[in-house]
Amino acid sequence: MKISIKSSDNIKKMRIAGRLAAEVLEMITPFVQPGISTGELDLMCFKYITEEQKAIPANIGYNGFENTICSSINSVICHGIPDNNKILKNGDILNIDVTVIKDGWHGDTSKMFMVGKCQPHNERLVRVTQECLYKAIEIVKPGIYLGDIGNAIQKHAEQNYYSVVEDYCGHGIGDVYHEEPQILHYGQPKTGLQVQEGMCFTIEPMINQGSKFNKVLSDGWTVETKDGRNSAQWEHTLAVTANGVEVLTRRSEENI
Ligand code: MF3
Ligand code: CO
Ligand code: CO
């Protein structure tokens, strides 16, 4: 088991890739409106990454995935496939997850969008899931345990009567898209690996309104809640610093 420690030169490149990934989400935000299809959003992100950023959309060709973004609506937990026939409607909640490769290094991030006016129960799910991510990021520094991260997320989710998806997790990231370690979004304090300066990983909690169980649809990708209730996810790529953490995929709307 080998966890790579990034040099400051490596992290400089991760910072650039992370910023580009964040900028894709910033670019697409005003277009996420009732009436647009997830296929159209995907094409806009593809063009922006390849033509403006001169970067590579990491999801294309990843284990046979064919698109730039994952677009996961309502009860879809993650890995939703963009589709020109899938039109966003008022009240939908949508996750867009994008990964950019620049100069060989990856930036991976996702955010939730509330399409038009959403029901309070969906707004609350989206907000609490983002709080789960922020509470986890807040505690990251050298010496903490990966179990502390999972516990911070699980505690906040369960205090709000939600469940944590266990079958998908965060991951180390660098010149490889998904590398060790796995970052579980549940766990016990002071268990698992200890975090070290120079580690880069994602935290990307998937939080369900109902039970934690999921099913993968026959397209081989789309992961949906088993009970059909809604799910939310937010993701950032992080670099562990000497005394804390740097959020490499921070958007300008965020105070973190
Ligand atoms: N970006 C996802 C993650 O957070 C992985 C998507 S893989 C894909 O790790 F093939 F579905 F795009
Ligand atoms: Co992602
Ligand atoms: Co990820």
pLDDT in tens, the chain (256 residues): 689 999 999 999 999 999 999 999 999 999 999 999 999 999 999 999 999 999 999 999 999 999 999 999 999 999 999 999 999 999 999 999 999 999 999 999 999 999 999 999 999 999 999 999 999 999 999 999 999 999 999 999 999 999 999 999 999 999 999 999 999 999 999 999 999 999 999 999 999 999 999 999 999 999 999 999 999 999 999 999 999 999 999 999 999 9
Q: Which of 97, 109, 167, 173 to mutate to test the pocket of ligand 1 (most atoms within 8 A of CB)?
A: 97
Using the mean position of ligand 3's atoms as its centre, give its distance from the Cα of residue 201 in Å.
8
Q: Is 225 exposed, middle or buried (0-12, 13-18, 19+ CB in 10 A)?
A: buried
Instruction: List Cβ neighbours of 116 (8 Å cut-off, separation of 6 or more).
Output: 33, 34, 89, 90, 91, 92
d(CA 243, CA 46): 36
Atom of ligand 1 nearest to the CA of 59: 12
Residues 118, 124, 127, 128, Cα dihedral to 10°: -150
For ligand 1, atom 12: residue with the closest CA: 59
Using the mean position of ligand 1's atoms as its centre, give its distance from the Cα of residue 55 in Å.
17
For ligand 1, atom 2: residue with the closest CA: 97
Q: Residue 143: left if φ>0, alpha if ψ -120 to 50, beta else—which one?
A: left
Using the mean position of ligand 1's atoms as its centre, give its distance from the Cα of residue 59 in Å.
6
Q: Which two tokens stand for residue 182?
A: 């796995």
d(CA 105, CA 58): 10
Count other Cβ atoms within 10 Å, centred on residue 130: 18
For ligand 1, atom 4: residue with the closest CA: 108
* Residue 204: C-alpha distances to residues 92, 116, 127, 153, 173 (Å): 20, 24, 14, 10, 13
d(CA 191, CA 58): 32
What are the two backbone dihedrals, phi and then psi, of residue 78, each rounded to the nearest 5 degrees? Answer: -165, 170
- Residue ranges lining ligand 1, Cβ < 6 Å: 59, 62-63, 65, 70, 79, 97, 99, 108, 204, 235
Using the mean position of ligand 3's atoms as its centre, give its distance from the Cα of residue 235 in Å.
7
Q: Which two tokens stand for residue 188?
A: 């016990």
Q: Which ligand number lies closest to the CA of residue 201? A: 3
Q: What pLDDT shows up at residue 1?
A: 60
